[in-house]
Copies of this chain bind each other. A is one copy, B any other.
Amino acid sequence: MSPSQIVIEFIRHIEVPDLDQAIALLAPHVEYDNVPIGKVHGPDAVRAILQPFCAGFDEIDWVIHHQVSNEHQAGDASSGAIVMNERTDRFRSGERWIELPVCGVFRVNDDGLIELWRDYFDDATLRSQLSPS
């Protein structure tokens, strides 16, 4: 699989959700950064965030609008391929959908493992839907 395909596969596993399969695509030293909230390191820490969050919803649907990468650029000095995507992360609870516009940055190493996952979004947009007034 190309770096771009690995990122798509990772997201598809989260949608099931099949966290064992998703976590298996992470490097041992993976950095997971929710930019406005903070970052954690390591697959166990990623699971500790994703598991309760995913368990709180009846359906997960992350729509990828665009995804681009530098995997075809030769001579890039950086380690690993950068994959970036523009998404709408959707979560259903009963009849209600939460929708969060997200821009994600991933770095996939030469072993095909994700060593960076950094999501940009507006925290208030998420919180206002998690706790509607």
Contacts and interface: CB of A to CB of B under 8 A. Distances in A.
A27 to B, nearest CB: 18
Contacts of A73: 72
Given A82-B68, A84-B68, A121 B124 contact: no
A120 interface: yes
Interface of A: 35-36, 66, 68-70, 72-73, 82-84, 86, 101-105, 118, 120-125
Given A86-B84, A103-B105, A121 B118 contact: no
A6 to B, nearest CB: 15
5 contacts: A66-B105, A68-B84, A103-B103, A103-B104, A103-B120
A35 to B, nearest CB: 5
What does DSSP make chain A's interface, helix, strand, loop or mixed? Answer: strand
A102 B35 CA distance: 9
Contacts of A120: 86, 101-103, 120-122
A82 B120 CA distance: 18
